[in-house]
Amino acid sequence: MAAPASRAALLWVALLTAASTVTTLVFACATPFPALAAIAAVYLGARDGAGLMIACWAASQLVGFGLLGYPHDAATFAWVPGLASAALVSFGVARWAAEGAGRSTALRLVAAYAAGFAAFKLMVMLWSFALGGGDALAPLVVLRQIVRNGAILLGLITLYHALIALGVPAPRRRLAAG
């Protein structure tokens, strides 16, 4: 018997949040928000995708402040809403790009990733200006993040398809007409 769509989507939010938490631990603070935004934009509905982004953001904050020793100072706490807004904007823009990329899953993923990454970096840049600088747009930093998030996206897609093959129910995602 297939799981109801809402339970399947909730299961995927939990699975992807767990995978994101592992990457946050492995890369010490580098939660792959653009990769998650692309996956959510293509495979989840709007509410579930936004829920995934918030769940991953919350998990990254718990890991960062609880396990990785983030400083407990005003400057670090100021980034908490900044990263939440960047994650949500990344998802919204990724979803918009995926909807406009046609029916090909591969094209939708590429469009969602490119747009989600650009939106995430733009939001980080805006927060960086507001909070007093940083190297958010240094070319080598951006290149490293594009490659790392792209590799994580490929890993998440592989995980998604492996779990589907093992019988985990796919979330039902309605495509826009057209």
Q: What is the pLDDT of residues 45-89, one digit of tens each?
A: 999 999 999 999 999 999 988 888 888 988 889 889 999 999 999
Provide the residue ranges of all domains of the chain, joining segments of one domain with +.
5-165
Pinpoint the alpha helices (H) of the chain.
5-26, 33-43, 46-66, 74-99, 105-131, 139-165
pLDDT at 26: 84
8 A C-beta contact, residue 21 and residue 60: yes
Q: Check whether 173 has a pLDDT greater than 70.
A: no
The answer to whether 30 and 147 have CB atoms below 8 angstroms apart is no
d(CA 125, CA 131): 10
Tens of pLDDT, residues 21-52: 998 888 776 789 999 999 999 999 999 999 99
pLDDT at 7: 84
- Could you tell me which residue, 5 or 46, shows the higher pLDDT? 46
| Model confidence pLDDT, tens digit, residues 143-155 | 999 999 999 999 9
Closest CA to 81 of 115, 58, 55, 65: 58
Q: Whole-model pTM?
A: 0.88
Question: How buried is 15 (Cβ within 10 angstroms: 0-12 exposed, 13-18 middle, 19+ buried)?
Answer: middle
